[in-house]
Amino acid sequence: MQTQDYMGRNQLLQRLTAQVGDEGLARSILIKRGHMTPEGKLTAAGKARSMMTAEERAVDRAVQRTGRSHSEFKYDPQTNRATLKPARRSGSRK
């Protein structure tokens, strides 16, 4: 997967470009989300998102969607999704 090359910080535009296949489309998406100005500069919100890794963005999306805690999620880099960790059963030992 080509997007696996852009998992780190400060790679928001590069990762989205790899995901959608076109830099112009990636820029228009970021502008629509309020993460980039029409001149191509990241907004404060865009800088904050860009400072996150792909994992941190995925977990943040899940937290915003569900209202749960960051620690309740695990990240799958193959799907770029954060899912709830299995519930711990009380009384179980490791």
State the DSSP string of 33-56: HTSB-TTS-B-HHHHHHHTS-HHH
Q: What percent of the chain has pLDDT over 90?
A: 73
The single-letter code of the amino acid at 23 is: E
pTM for this model (two decimals) = 0.76
Q: Average pLDDT of 31-56?
A: 96
Q: Which of 93, 61, 92, 55 is nearest to 77 (CA)?
A: 55
